[in-house]
Amino acid sequence: MQFLTYLITLCLLRPLASVAFKPNDKKRPSVYIRSSYMCGERFLYSQPTLRNDATEGCSQIKRKYVCKGLRRCFVLRFKPTVKIYRGPHFTTSSEENAYESTLYEVEIRKHSLENAEILNTDRFLDEFIAVMEFDPISNMCTFQGVLRRSAGIELKCTEKPPSLQPSFSPSSSTRSLR
């Protein structure tokens, strides 16, 4: 009887304790993203916004990979927030497969797009996905790219190189002295 009471108390209070003593997420390492991504001609994800969404997605992947407790594993299996990527655009090499690294897909928030006026239409059914590789040995995510899914068609978004800022040259801005 005492064991049953202990088990019920543990199941009820454990989620409350884990929420109360949740570690600070501000110290988590961010996922490195080289540049912005352009999906088609109208959709642009900026590099800082994509980095924030990918970092959040990586923390979701880590929670899925390390599932502790029966309740948490059950919820993660039947209500997944991240999925294993099985599409044709990204693959892991055979060397990486030896270390059990896996490609995951995480849906990117649509309000993060630069062209927000496009999102106001009712016909906006596109889904934008960040594909990341998770290495369980190093516990790190590596960003692979961005995909756009629409009506069963999957398109790979192109990387937009950072724009070069005009450099300041002192010779061009000097004033002539009289």
For the chain, the structural domain boundaries read 30-161
Whether residue 39 contacts residue 146, with contact meaning beta carbons closer than 8 Å, is answered with: yes
User: Which three-class secondary structure state does DSSP give residue 176?
Assistant: coil
d(C-alpha 49, C-alpha 67), whole Å: 28
Q: What is the pLDDT of residue 28?
A: 59
Residue ranges in 79-126 assigned as alpha helix (H): 94-97
| pLDDT tens column, 47-63 | 888 888 888 888 887 77
- Averaged confidence pLDDT in the chain: 69
Find the mean pLDDT for residues 123-145: 81
Mean pLDDT of 86-111: 70
Out of 28-37, 72-81, 99-108, pick the least confident.
72-81
- Decide if pLDDT at 133 tops 80: yes
Place of tokens 């988590």: 28
Give Dmax (Cα) for the chain: 99
- Confidence band of 150 (pLDDT split at 50, 70, 90): confident
Look-up of token digits 């490195």:
32
* Residue 150 CB partners (closer than 8 Å, separation 6+): 125, 126, 127
Q: Distance (Å, rounded) from C-alpha 135 to C-alpha 98?
A: 11
**Confidence check: pLDDT of 86 > 60:** yes
pTM score: 0.62
Report phi then psi at 42, rounded to 5: -115, -10
130, 106 in Cβ contact below 8 A? yes
